[in-house]
Structure 1
Amino acid sequence: MELWVAITFAAAFVQNIRSALQKYLKGAMGTTGATFVRFGFGVPFALLFLAIAVAVLDLPIPPVHTTFFLWVVLASIAQILAQALLVHLFSFRNFTVGTAYSRTEPAQAALFGLLFLGEVVTVGTLIAIAISVFGVMLISVARTAFSTKALLLSVTSRTALIGLASGTLFGVSGVSYRAASVSLGGPHAVIQAGTTLVVAVVFQTVVMSIWMALREPEEFARIRKAWKPALLVGLAGATASFGWFTAMTLQQAAYVKAVAQVEMLFTFAASVFIFKETITRMELAGCALIVCGVAALVLAV
């Protein structure tokens, strides 16, 4: 197994934990506050990871430049907006369809990788990505009244368009983070990823702090009261992001995002083995497609 694949698996697992912790925090604060802690409480851990990488590898932090910063700004804003759209979907009764369409992120990342960075993927890779994406979409709608046919025909619905927009922004974010990290040109993928992570989370923390101060100042008090679980969210978020950035420094964002669909398998396994939920045939089919798609992708690279 290639290093970037192993890192992606680990990052997907940790991100699943972070998502569960954020859902817990939703009971103590609003959506903005629960989103903020991912970045704000992740700053000290991002700094720690970078410091450890520099000490262990005995290599310097690369100097940042204008191109790097512009890519980070684009990636950071796209990530915040993508997350906001995804959260907005939950206000709709049929939000699952939109959520399913947001999972087209890997395919869109392949397109943006081509447009922004001139990265090309093979036909076999595109097929593997399509298989895993469809598998995730099946799981997303398996417990609703929507059929696969209805899902494919609903692309013009409001929720589907919001989901596609979220997937687009996540795709832009992933490709932009890769561009930022690669633009540093060394001295090591881990240090490049750590530097990118630190600059990104600091920028996102500043942006979201200004937003909350102007629009939702009451969130600061709620965050202070829940600082202990918020620290865990920050740790899990920074760890997952460090993994994503390292993997995307080593490999194209589309490949990493496609393999990252295994996160759905972790979520699905938790619902079955921890919460004892039943398994539907469509969910089993979706899991099988994700496994096949990821396996085909790894073999194709």
Structure 2
Amino acid sequence: MSLWVLFTLAAAALQTVRFMLQKQLRGAGLSTGGATFSRFLFAAPIACGLAATALLLTGARPPEPGPGFWAYVTLGAICQIVATFLTVALFALRNFAVGVAFTKTETVQVAAFSALMLGERVSPFGWAAIVTGFTGVLLLSKAPVAGARVLGRPALYGVLAGALFGLSAIGYRGATLALQPLPFLLRALLALAAATVIQTMLMAAWLRWREPGEIGRVLARWRRTALVGLTGGLGSLGWFAAFALQNAAYVRALGQVEIVFTLLASALVFHERLHLREAAGIALVILSVVAIVMGLG
């Protein structure tokens, strides 16, 4: 099995754990912004430390990233923050399920962005696997309530969030490619360190402006928030390493296995029952994952 597959599966699993921890943080008196900020605040020093250690161990000369690297990594960092906030905003809307379903268009959008921005096209086989997984994810999305409008603000938020998550993946892929010919893991670590530092600074400025005192609450709960940063940082390292090795469209398509991990955790940890449609959706996502691994792994 290829390294990019292993890194993607590990990233999806760690992201599931991180989401579970962040959900608990909401019950610990932190806002959505505070819970999100904790991920970047504690992930940044971890990423920077790992990048510095890798440079020392490999004896590699610290690179001098050009404008292309900074443009790509900043694009990825900002798009990821805004997409996360849009996704959270969906839960304040009555028909949020419609919007959440539309965020899953990310896998299709990232394939298009990958071709337009990086010149990396997806094969017909790859498209078939992506569409299969996308169909499975839609089945796993909750059905809208009776009379819910398919078009409207939830759909707009969802499609926009999906597009921004897609652009974020392209940004990170482009940033790792801009650091060639360094080894792939070193490129991933350096790009991750830059992205998390940018995100920490932007989120800190936002919280100081919009939520005075929230940064202090995050720091006061460091024993719990640091764990979010650790799992988030290691998960992001998996994504960045995969982006350094493979087309972002394939990475994000394989990463859809995360929703399967989430549902299984829900069933095993919270003893929630899976419905027939959810089982069918899981089957399609797994079929997509197997197809991608067998065809590209």
Q: TM-score range by the shorter chain?
A: over 0.9
Q: Deviations over 1:179-238 (max 9, x none)?
A: 011011121000001000111111111111111111211212221221111100110111
Deviations 1:45-74 (A, max 9, x none): 112222343344443332212110111111
Pair 1:292 & 2:293 matched: no
Cα shift at 1:246: 0.6
**4+ residue stretches of structure 1 with deviation over 4 A?**
none
2:232 aligned with 1:237:
yes
1:220 and 1:200 map into 2 onto residues whose CA distance is: 19
TM-score (norm 1): 0.94
Q: Which secondary structure does the structure 1 equivalent of 2:182 belong to?
A: coil
1:21-67: per-residue Cα shift (whole Å, max 9, x none)? Answer: 11111122111111111111111111222234334444333221211
Partner of 2:85: 84
**TM-score for both structures, normalised by structure 2:** 0.95
Residue pairs, 1:3-82, within 5 angstroms: 3-27=3-27, 28-82=29-83
8 Å Cα contact 1:60/1:187 also seen in 2: no
Give the residue type in structure 2 aligned to 1:159.
Answer: P
- Measured in 2, the distance between the counterparts of 1:258 and 1:53 equals 29
Aligned partner (choices 118, 143, 157) of residue 162 of structure 1: 157
The Cα offsets for residues 152-177 of structure 1, whole Å up to 9 and x where unpaired, read as x92x2321221111000000000111
Q: Alpha-carbon deviation of 1:4? A: 0.2
Confirm whether residue 183 of structure 1 aligns to residue 178 of structure 2.
yes
For the aligned residue pairs, the C-alpha RMSD in angstroms reads 1.6
Q: Is residue 218 of structure 1 aligned with residue 218 of structure 2? A: no
Aligned partners of 1:57 and 1:275: how far apart in 2? 44
Contact residue 61 and residue 191 of structure 1 kept, 8 A: no
* Aligned partner (choices 204, 209, 223) of residue 204 of structure 2: 209
Aligned residue pairs, count? 295
Identity across the alignment (%) = 42
How do residues 83-232 of structure 1 correspond to structure 2 at under 5 angstroms? Answer: 83-141=84-142, 145=145, 154=150, 156-232=151-227
For 1:122 and 1:275, locate their aligned partners in 2 and report how far apart those are by CA, in whole Å. Answer: 40
SS of structure 2 residue aligned to 1:141:
coil
CA distance in 1, matches of 2:285, 2:145: 22
* Amino acid of the structure 1 residue aligned with 2:49: L
